[in-house]
Structure 1
Amino acid sequence: MKRAFTLIELLVVIAIIAILAAILFPVFAQAKFAAKKTVDLSNAKEIGTAIKIYLGDSDDTMPIFYAYNSDPSIYSPAAHHGTEVLLLPYTNSKEIFRSPLDSGGPYLANEVGSAKNADSYWKAYGSSYRFGHCTFTTAANESSQNNQFAVYDAVSQSTNVTRPVIETSMEFPAETRVIRLEMFGFFEKKNDPECTRYGYDCGYFKNWDPSGGSMIFSDSHAKHINGMGSFDESRVDPAGHKSGEPATDPNAWSGTWYSLCD
């Protein structure tokens, strides 16, 4: 005669399954997150390579700077203008500019058009990666940020001007960041309680990667940045000013070159 499971035996089996699940699920989650970080860094390396190829076709002149544009009506004819658009012929895929870590942020609820309530910066603005003010070319009545042409150029200390950036003008190409992941975990409020160091955790911040994020340098290499020290020590303009270096420009709201060039 076949013997059925007793209630106690069934409960023991369920308990064992629950214990195994509790052990394995965090491992699976960590593995999934590690895979996302790997793809994110791979994307960054490909973007770095694309910039090098672009420079070869553009007399070593960096692409035009754009950021956070969600309203194409400032251009005629109306169309999205972005640095990633200029690089697209050299990447052959818009997906390269989409980080798998990109889960958007609270500010997107305030955006306009198709960017409103977008679930990623890539959907809202065309890129999960931030292009640096001072390491890309600014062009009068073309460079734009937040749907305005009023882009401040820290090098010339002027607004809405034309200033080309030539690759060979970079004093420290291996140390100068040109692009970075939009959200770094250390931008959170506990490291910036008054929102005056990085300016994110005051309505913009979402923790994409607690350990840091990818950064692309002028010499085209990319690496994962793990902390504030490495971030602040990276250089942000052709002359080689460091991100965390004090700046006297009145437009430096953080008191550092980060707020002028990032």
Structure 2
Amino acid sequence: MITRTRGAGRRSAVVLAATLLSACLVGCGAGQARTAERAPGAPPTRARGADPAPVPRISLDVAPRQLPGLGPRTSAAISPRTGQVLVVTGRGRDSAVSTAVLYSRTASGWHAGTVWPAHNAFKGWTDHHVIGDLRSPVGVYTLTDAGGLRADPGTRLPYDRSGGFSVDGTGFEGEPLAGSFDYVIAIDYNRAPGTSPLDWTRPLGADRGGGIWVHVDHGGPTQGCVSLREDHMKALLRAVDPARRPVIVMGDAAALRR
């Protein structure tokens, strides 16, 4: 049985673990294929078709009025009422390696947190995600709900702790997937905000995929999600404040500059 620390009336109290496993196969890191990408923190290598251009460096000593690395179209998609933005910048269109930075808006501008290594989907990024394409969706999405196999680490987001977040098997580089969903934040791509990450509602239709989360990194590419090291994932959960209308901005560097 799933217990929900906030907003329990917004969804059914029982979600089958089989639903999660189906979602994982669509959106998160499960699979047998292998890639040349390395785990975060290791020297980067070029995957098939990867853009060799490095991820732009981010200065942590300035408070710009506009978020660095984002073009006018991407910036316009961020509400002026948003006070927290997790920017996930992919190394290239076809790369599974990215970085993540949590920005907080203050009176003086945007302040950057630590730059975290991250993974995204095995084949990189897409502007039109469909089920099974092994690419992460480019865009700006709200962050409203969290959950995991383990106890709430202290987030202010509604948090569902459930055995439905169990996962096993191996990823694209043969790495074990166990523990990947110990902590997750649902990315509001093709889902109903205000529900558990396990919820199977797909407003755009099942063919557009779903189950796109920020979750614990398992040391290799995902099927569509963004993954962070466990300590960074817990830090993110504790930092995100729903009162600040947090969003994730995600995509390859070139797409984000549009």
TM-score range (shorter-chain normalised) is: under 0.3
Q: Which has the higher contact order (CA 8 A, sep 6+)?
A: 2
Normalised to the residue count of structure 1, the TM-score between the two structures is 0.27
Larger Rg over CA atoms: 1
Structure whose residues are more often helix by fraction: 1
